[in-house]
Amino acid sequence: MKELLEKLTSAFGPSGYESRVRDLILETIKNDIDEYRIDALGNLITRKGTRKANGKRIMVSAHMDEIGLMVTHVDEQGFAYVTNLGGVRPLNLMSNRVVFADGTEGMLCARDMEPGKIPALDQYFVDTGASSRKSCKVKIGDPAVFVGRFVDMGDRRMSKTMDDRIGCLIAIEALKALKDSPHEVRFVFSVQEEVGLRGAKTSAYSVDPEIGIALDVTLCNDTPGLTERNLKFGAGPCIKAKDGSLVGTPWLNNALYDAAERAGIPYQVEVLRGAGTDAGAISLTRSGVPSSVISVACRYVHTPSEMVDVSDVKQAIQLLVEFLSKEIK
Ligand code: CO
Ligand code: ZN
């Protein structure tokens, strides 16, 4: 599991450029699924099992894309200016390294730096070591992601892109472990979540599920200085009551709480003031889909050093497998 997570998090896959992540996932799961297809936007839509008399068609979605940057222009000296692909905060950019699809690395800096002030996103440029526009290897439209090496910290793991390769890992492990389910489970590895839940929107339309579950990270607020203290490391997977895109369907959440109790694992009820996940898009598909999220508390979300707790991840897999194995009442 550790090796797979390292591979998943290391893969390059900003929104709209998920093919390397998709190839890796497909290679990993192709013997464990009954069918798959890749849709026009690039979503990997799989099927595991068939719908029995008491079963449902369930879509389980984890997004493959990661936040990134895109070059807006390269100046005459060879500095590449950037804009955001997804929820990149200017605060988290300063002095970080980024890497482009061809392996070119660069350092992020900003012009007009005033002491004590965070530069606006349009002030940031990437220095790839080029000495002119002509010799700069990156050009307008090239996407980049953070450099953030995978680190095994014992009980915890740190890397770029735990958001949402950890969701991809949970889906992969659950689909490998799932046996004898009454449900038709559509594991979807979605694209373009970070730019507005776009892949989940089109994939949910074609899957036409009766229940939607997203797998994603959520904000772990157990570090110093945070006012809300409702989610912490080591207290089990989180079940979504609310975020900016979704109110978790109450009867579905009750079914998830029951599954956690049957599996003998702890869980946390998650309330977020904002943000969103694929479940928000799934819930508004066609005439509406009861939806919720199994999330993993993550520290330092949308930085190059996102951190998760190993026991939370293992229990999220257990919760999902238990939920998908039994009839839902
Ligand atoms: Co995110
Ligand atoms: Zn995410």
- Domains of the chain: which residue ranges? 2-66+160-325, 68-146
Residue 193 CA to ligand 2 center (angstroms) comes to 7
pLDDT-above-70 percentage for the chain: 100
Tell me the fold of 2-66+160-325.
Aminopeptidase (3.40.630)
How far does Cα 318 stand from its chain's mean position? 19
How far does residue 73's CA lie from ligand 2's centre (Å)?
28
> Dihedral of CA 306/84/140/200: which sign?
positive
| Res 291 pLDDT > 90 | yes
Residues 149-159: what's their mean pLDDT? 98
CA-to-CA separations, 266 to 212, 233, 259, 313, in angstroms, rounded: 22, 12, 10, 12
Separation of CA 216 and ligand 2 centre (Å): 5
Q: Catalytic residue at 261?
A: no
CATH superfamily of 68-146: Peptidase M42, domain 2 (2.40.30.40)
pTM to 2 decimal places: 0.97
What's the pLDDT tens digit per position in 106-135? 999 999 888 889 999 999 999 999 999 999
Instruction: Report, in angstroms and rounded to the nearest whole number, the Rg of the chain calculated over CA atoms.
Output: 20
Question: Which ligand is nearest the CA of 62, by number?
Answer: 2
The two structure tokens encoding residue 144: 């980049």
What pLDDT was estimated at residue 113? Answer: 83
For residue 19, report the distance from its CA to the centre of ligand 1, in Å.
18
pLDDT bin (cut points 50, 70, 90) of residue 170 is very high
Inter-axis angle of helices 19-29 and 162-177, to 10 degrees?
20
Around ion ligand 2, which residues have CB less than 5 A away? Answer: 163-164, 216
- What is the model's pLDDT at position 114? 86
Calculate how far, in angstroms, residue 48's C-alpha sits from the geometric centre of ligand 2: 23
Ligand nearest to the CA of 301: 1
